[in-house]
Amino acid sequence: MDIPYWNKEIETADRATIEKIQLERLGNTLSSAFRSPFYKRLLGEAGISSGDDIKSLDDLRRIPFTTKDDLRMSFPTGMMSVDMEQVVRIHSSSGTTGIPTVIYFSSQDVKNWTDLVARCIVSTGATSRDIFQNMMTYGLFTGGLGLHYGAEAVGMTIIPIGGGNTKRQIKVMKDFRTTVLHITPSYLLHIHSKLGDVGISRDELAIKKAFVGAEPHSENTRLKIQELLNIDAYNSYGLSELNGPGVAFECVYKKDMHVWEDAYIVEIIDPETGEVLEDGQEGEVVLTNLIRHATPILRYRTRDLAFLHPDKCECGRTHRRLSRILGRTDDMLIINGVNVFPSQIEEKIMQIPEVGTNYQIYVDKKGSLDRLTVKVEIYPKLFLGEASQLDALKNKIKEELRSSIVINAVIELHEPGALPVSEGKAQRVVDQRSKL
Amino acid sequence: MKITQISVFLENRKGRLFDVCSLLGENNINIRALTIAETESFGVLRIVVDKSNMAVKLLKDNGFVANLTHVVAVEVGDNPGGLASVLKVFADNDVNIEYMYGFVEKFSDKALLVFRFADTDMAQQILAKNEIKVVTEKEIEGL
């Protein structure tokens, strides 16, 4: 097979070369990190006073982990290490849990990220001749703009359509002879199920490839997508704290995702002890960003569970492959590509006086899409005896969740005492989607 | 003359209506009129019983979500056009009906209907002015 590369020298560099680059870039990243109030304190507490204290990659372990809470506590500029004047872009979480996480990019940071995304795209065999329909949300979310810039660097013809509006998506796919999609796996299956409604058959479309990401999915889901649509589906991994898409991506062999190790140091740790595990062992993914200087992030605990393949890929790339995401160390739910914490739902529904004290979050599938049902007990003293009042309450809860957490939930009302009594979060969240 | 209706919230669960009815039955409370307002995922049972205060306490004590509402029980001629003639009075006088349903048994040779009005007091005045008979709480208890 003819293997396409964006930067063959780096992508196939031997281990020693990669590690040399890592160490050098880690030193540079540390220099930037010392300019941020958060890392100045964190590194100081760990007895690291300058980049010179890190002499080998093994010294990385002296650096304490960074968590999502650290990012929140540092809002808005506690992790920033340049002047705002040098910042060309801000990406941020929606902040629905109270405090958002924010990442600043310098012009060079955006270029570095773009280059990685271009690498990802080219590694799947996509080229400048492809018509690329980017169906991920543009905006503060990194999925849309991240792939957009990478695709532009590759020279693809981009249709920056963004998310949603299924009928229009299908029509655009047909009208512009789209060949490559960027989409969540569940939405892609949904698109397939709606082809008939729009009166457009698969044969009228030119699609060949899909980059699927933003939500974990099983190999079976990939196979289903490939079979139903007769395309190749490539898994994508990224998170906004580490730039967004472009952290790891599948090559033409589709045997899990190459982590660009010249740009990220990837470690797999035991989530309980923090101990670094061997390749092949499943644990929490920890990532250090080596190519972003406006907001450096060191040893970030992603809460994603996965393992690294110890063996080489047939494509010739030397960058190790990360498995699919096998689970989470926290209770975050991913509903049709949107990250949701049960605590966010709880906070919103408990603000509504007619809602009683107990609730349950139930997740299953309706067709190919995830369905989130929020079951709440009503507060008896505020029941006025009318069904219309309860209907209004249902709509109020639904609207509240839609506007604040951007999820479309089914609301069920229950009598007090009808839902299982909570003894911690496990009972409050029931996820019936098949195990990953 | 208002009478008392009990509304009971029923979640979509097997046997929930049975639970209400058997609780009332065991305590010798007689249901005189009933209807269910149903939606996709829950229902509201509306009943008129002979001992409404006792019934609502009993329901609440047993964990049901229940509430009292004022409605009016109106006698309507049990003949073709009987209901229409009463409804005409309401329509002519701008009396808004939120919902209505029938009694299980008759009180006289006339049919008995429960009306929930947007403005109960106004409806009662119109009914009195047009000499349409309404049934009192006491009469319900004696049914």
Using the Cα atoms of residue A391, residue A395, residue A401 and residue A407 in order, give the sign of their dihedral. Answer: positive
If asked whether residues B136 and B97 sit together in one domain, one would say yes
How many residues in chain A?
Answer: 436
Q: What is the pLDDT of residues A113-131, one digit of tens each?
A: 999 999 999 999 999 999 9
- Kindly list the structural domains of chain A, giving each domain's residue range(s) and its CATH number in brackets, ordered by start: 8-330 (3.40.50.12780), 334-431 (3.30.300.30)
Give the CATH number for residue B54: 3.30.2130.10
DSSP character at residue A406: -
Nearest to A102 by CA among A302, A295, A378, A368: A295
Strand, coil or helix: A290: coil
Global ipTM: 0.81
Q: Which among B45, B69, B93 is the end of a domain?
A: B69
Cβ contact A135:A169 at 8 Å: yes
> Mean pLDDT across the stretch A128-149?
96
Same domain, B50 and B97: no
Report whether A146 contacts A174 (CB < 8 A). no
Q: Transcribe A70-113 into DSSP letters.
A: HHHHTTTTTT--S-GGGEEEEEE---TTSS--EEEEEHHHHHHH
B28 and B80 together in one domain = no
Domain end, chosen from B12, B42, B69, is at B69
**Which residue in chain B has the smallest CA separation from A394?**
B41
Task: Please give the average per-residue pLDDT across A238-245, as a whole number.
Answer: 94
**Domain stops at, among B33, B52, B69:** B69
- Residue recorded with tokens 């005045």: B125
Provide the pLDDT for residue A96. 57
CA angle B31-B52-B132, nearest 5°?
A: 75
Whether the pLDDT of residue A58 is over 90: the answer is yes
SS3 B74: strand
As a whole-number percent, the residues of chain A with pLDDT over 70 amount to 97
Picking from A27-31, A299-303, A418-422, B122-126, which range would have the lowest pLDDT averaged per residue?
Answer: A418-422
Give residue B106's pLDDT.
75
Query: Do residue B15 and residue B59 come from a single domain?
Result: yes
What range does the domain containing B45 cover? 3-69
Q: What values do phi and psi take at A347, rounded to 5?
A: -60, -40
Our count of domains for chain B comes to 2
A373 shares contact with chain B (CB less than 8 Å): no
pLDDT of residue A112 exceeding 80, the answer is yes
Low-confidence ranges of chain B (pLDDT < 50): none
Examine the domain organization and report whether B106 and B56 are in the same domain.
no
- A307-335 tens-digit pLDDT: 999 999 999 999 999 999 988 898 888 88
CB contact under 8 A, B11 and A391: no
Q: Look at residue A94 in the predicted model and tell me its pLDDT.
A: 65
Mean pLDDT to the nearest integer, A179-185: 95
Per-residue confidence band for A436, with pLDDT thresholds at 50, 70 and 90: very low
* pLDDT tens digit sequence for A188-223: 988 998 898 999 999 999 999 999 988 888 888 899
**Residues of chain B positioned with their CB less than 8 A from the CB of A384:** 67, 69
Which of residues B107 and A16 earns the better pLDDT score?
Answer: A16
Q: Alpha-carbon torsion A207, A208, A214, A219, what sign?
A: positive
Closest Cβ opposite residue B39 in set A384, A385, A387:
A387
Q: Which of A354, A376, A390 to mutate to test the interface with B (most CBs of B within 10 A)?
A: A390
Above 60 in pLDDT, residue A48?
yes
pLDDT band at A424 (very low <50, low <70, confident <90, very high): very low
Question: Do B32 and B77 lie in a common domain?
Answer: no
Q: Give the one of A387, A412, A417 whose C-beta lies nearest to B44's C-beta.
A: A387
What is the mean predicted confidence (pLDDT) over A146-150?
98
CATH number, residue B133: 3.30.70.260
Quick one: pLDDT at residue A186?
Answer: 84
What does the mean pLDDT of chain A come to?
Answer: 92
What pLDDT does residue A426 have? 42
Interface of B with A (CB under 8 A): 5, 7, 9-13, 37-39, 41-44, 46, 60, 63-69
Q: Which of B5, B9, B63 sits opposite A390 (nearest CB)?
A: B9
Shared domain for B81 and B48, answered yes or no, is no
B105 and B130 both lie in a single domain:
yes
